[in-house]
Amino acid sequence: MNLQKKKIMLITNHDDDIYCFRKEVIESLVEYGYEVLVSCPYGDKIELMKSIQFEYEDITIDRRGINPLKDIRLFLSYIRLLRKHRPDVVLTYTVKPNVYASLAATILGIKYINNVTGLGSVLTMGSCVRSLVLLLFRISFRKSNCVFFQNEYNMKMLKTLGLISGDSKLIPGSGVNIERYPVQQYPNGGNGIQGETIVFNYIGRILKEKGIDTYLAAAQIIKSRYPKTEFNIIGFIEPTESHYELKIRDLEKKGIVYYLGQQKDVIPHITRSHAIIHPSVYGEGMSNVLLENASSGRVLITTDNPGCKEIVKDRETGYIFQGGNVEELVSILEVFLGLENEKRKEMGIQGRMYIEQYFSRQIVIDAYLDKIKGVLDE
């Protein structure tokens, strides 16, 4: 097999997804001699990848919700795109590429591999819309050469619903680049009343399903009892959730939270922190925020949500609480504040070791390379 002539196309819904989570996959594919094509809506992150030899195709995707007209246009765009390039294998990521690019590949007789990176808000949609989306999944996955899942819950659920009939494989999310996120020196810290301030971060989109209400409520309670604590919010407010701006700004004026907006580089903020609070009840695949913080040696405080709980060894590398349960989160934060700082540091180091063993991005890259070779050999 002459790899030099084999074309692999990656299709996703955002340039962030390509740069933050697929960059090393693309580099490895190029290194192995494949011709690589990438399609996603254009963004600044595409410019940051110009040193890598791949071909780029811009495309317009309405990421949120179902608009029949826009979705038909997207499907037809994928038909044109795949017909133009005739890739040997297509890798699809996120919901709409998984559906519409897969349907286009099926029609054109092109092999494809799906990646379920989380179900997002699919499972919380109204029954009619949910049924339609699941039907589209069933049709799209029917001819898939393999469906990769990022957590066992999603894999079991879609199989139970009869949506997956062929090959499937479980991988540890997108993995984390443990060299890009090395262990950071753990900051000194007191107990929230005396000593150095204890810093907590919320990193991610400001979205109800991501648990922002839980975070804000817990911050208000803890700040009233433990004044030497700091609660940061790092991320952008979704246009559909604009009401949070007033709420967050009001709490900021009261000194309860600090809103830092979206940051190009979160590492300096991770470095300052003692723990990440990730209160998500969203349809995660595998939380990249948790992976990056654990790789950096930070304690994880998160929910029992699939895609979150798998990354934490409860009471050893972090803490797990019931999503939406403010009282339980407050209780955990008080336990954390009562620890000696050396114990917090030790939990972070244990978390890093756990990541190295089970969640390194190289594990994911190797799984992709092996499956692509197998599909091409079929």
pLDDT tens string 302-320: 999 999 999 999 999 999 9
Q: Could you give the CA distance from residue 253 to residue 280 in angstroms, rounded to a whole number?
A: 25
Do residues 354 and 368 share a domain?
no
User: What's the mean pLDDT in 188-209?
Assistant: 97
pLDDT of residue 238: 84
Q: 126: phi > 0 → left, psi -120 to 50 → alpha, else beta; which?
A: beta
Is 268 within the bounds of a domain?
yes
Do residues 16 and 146 share a domain?
yes
Q: Could you give the CA distance from residue 56 to residue 113 in angstroms, rounded to a whole number?
A: 19
- Max CA distance (Å), the chain: 66
Q: Could you give the CA distance from residue 87 to residue 76 in angstroms, rounded to a whole number?
A: 17
Contact yes or no for 42/11 (Cβ under 8 A): no
Name the band, by pLDDT with cuts 50, 70 and 90, for residue 130.
Answer: confident
CATH of the domain at 249: 3.40.50.2000
In 3D, which of 248, 99, 107, 252 has the Cα closest to residue 163? 99
pLDDT of residue 1: 46
Burial group, residue 179, by CB count within 10 angstroms (0-12, 13-18, 19+): exposed
Do residues 214 and 144 share a domain?
no
Q: Could you give the CA distance from residue 26 to residue 52 in angstroms, rounded to a whole number?
A: 8
pLDDT of residue 51: 94
Q: Domain count of the chain?
A: 2
Long-range contacts of 20-27 (CB under 8 A, 24+ apart): 20/45, 20/288, 21/174, 21/288, 22/93, 22/174, 23/49, 23/52, 24/177, 24/361, 24/365, 25/364, 25/365, 25/368, 26/52, 26/54, 27/52
Is 192 within the bounds of a domain?
no
* Domain span holding position 336: 198-358
User: What's the mean pLDDT in 332-361?
Assistant: 98
Do residues 109 and 213 share a domain?
no
Is 77 within the bounds of a domain?
yes
Do residues 345 and 368 share a domain?
no
Query: Which range, 1-10, 28-37, 113-122, has the best average confidence (pLDDT)?
Result: 28-37
Do residues 165 and 274 share a domain?
no
Give 251-310 pLDDT, tens digit per residue. 999 999 999 999 989 999 999 999 999 999 987 889 999 999 999 999 999 999 999 999
Q: Which residue has the higher pLDDT, 82 or 63?
A: 82
User: What's the mean pLDDT in 338-352?
Assistant: 98
Q: Could you give the CA distance from residue 288 to residue 339 in angstroms, rounded to a whole number?
A: 26
Do residues 264 and 279 share a domain?
yes
Do residues 39 and 151 share a domain?
yes
User: What's the mean pLDDT in 63-71?
Assistant: 80
Spell out the residues 6+ positions from residue 268 whose beta carbon is closer than 8 angstroms to its own. Answer: none
Is 14 within the bounds of a domain?
yes
Q: Using the predicted structure, report yes or no on whether residue 151 has a pLDDT greater than 60.
A: yes
Name the band, by pLDDT with cuts 50, 70 and 90, for residue 378.
Answer: confident
Name the band, by pLDDT with cuts 50, 70 and 90, for residue 119.
Answer: confident
Do residues 318 and 230 share a domain?
yes
Q: Could you give the CA distance from residue 93 to residue 147 in angstroms, rounded to a whole number?
A: 10
Query: What is the sign of the dihedral through the CA atoms of 122, 67, 58 and 55?
Result: positive
Do residues 267 and 121 share a domain?
no
Is 309 within the bounds of a domain?
yes
Is 349 within the bounds of a domain?
yes
pLDDT of residue 307: 94
Do residues 72 and 210 share a domain?
no
User: What's the mean pLDDT in 89-97?
Assistant: 95
Do residues 217 and 107 share a domain?
no
Q: What is the average pLDDT value for the chain, to the nearest integer? A: 94
pLDDT of residue 176: 96
User: What's the mean pLDDT in 44-65?
Assistant: 91
